[in-house]
Amino acid sequence: MKTNRILVALLALVLVPGAQAGAGLKITIRLMNSAKVANGTLAEGEKQAGRALAQAGIEVVWLDCSAGVVGPCAPDLGAGEFWFHVANWKPSASTVDGLGFTLLDRETGASLAGVYYPMVKDAARNYMIEEAPILGAAIAHEIGHLLGEGHSPTGVMCARFNRQRFMEMSQGGVLFAPNQAARIRAEVTRRSAK
Ligand SMILES: [Zn+2]
């Protein structure tokens, strides 16, 4: 048992330094589109979120679990799997993350994240931009929280997004900082070594 752990740790050491996009680090997002966001909009949001994570060296596999806990969404969550709600409700009180939420229980390892679609729609209307970059930024941001990251002054983990930042998101310019990327890669590695 111990030997196996050491072996895994050694393998991780060998693999991680070269870990750029496509080096095998992967998470699966079990996405429940409760808000019934149009498929094209959601796909574009996923693409933009996935691009930020790919740049950090993590591939995101999107699993449509809108039908509930059935089929491929029925088995217990694997180490690198997360539930993610696109919720059709707004937060009842003001939260730090106006567009989304992440609940992490470090004791049990349970986690849940999501975005508030009505807030995404409001932002799109107010800024007169498309919903996809807002969705993409919010999804990537909450995945960052799921992987243990806090807020930072710039990049995708910034607590406040404005129109300019959403526009940059749509151009692929809102990313995880190198030190954040290294930490979330380490977190995915740690989870998959369990
Ligand atoms: Zn946040």
Burial of 13 (0-12, 13-18, 19+ CB in 10 A): exposed
Ligand 1 midpoint to CA 74 (Å): 28
Ligand 1 midpoint to CA 98 (Å): 8
What is the β-pairing status of strands 111-116 and 100-104? antiparallel
Q: What is the pLDDT along the chain (194 residues), one digit of tens a residue?
A: 444 554 444 444 444 444 444 468 999 999 999 999 999 999 999 999 999 999 999 999 999 999 999 999 999 888 899 999 999 988 877 666 789 999 888 777 778 899 999 999 999 999 999 999 999 999 999 999 999 999 999 999 999 999 999 999 999 999 999 999 999 999 999 988 86
Ligand 1 midpoint to CA 137 (Å): 11
Ligand 1 midpoint to CA 82 (Å): 17
Residues 6+ apart with CB under 8 A from 150: 157
Measured distance CA(135)–CA(143) in Å, rounded: 12
Ligand 1 midpoint to CA 162 (Å): 14
Measured distance CA(181)–CA(23) in Å, rounded: 14
What is the count of structural domains for the chain? 1
Residues 6+ apart with CB under 8 A from 104: 110, 111, 145, 146, 148
Ligand 1 midpoint to CA 8 (Å): 31
**DSSP state, 159?**
S
Containing domain of residue 52, as a range? 2-192
Q: At what angle do helices 117-127 and 163-170 cross, to 10 degrees?
A: 100
Measured distance CA(191)–CA(27) in Å, rounded: 10
Ligand 1 midpoint to CA 102 (Å): 8
Ligand 1 midpoint to CA 50 (Å): 17
Ligand 1 midpoint to CA 94 (Å): 13
Q: What is the CATH number of the domain that holds 187?
A: 3.40.390.10
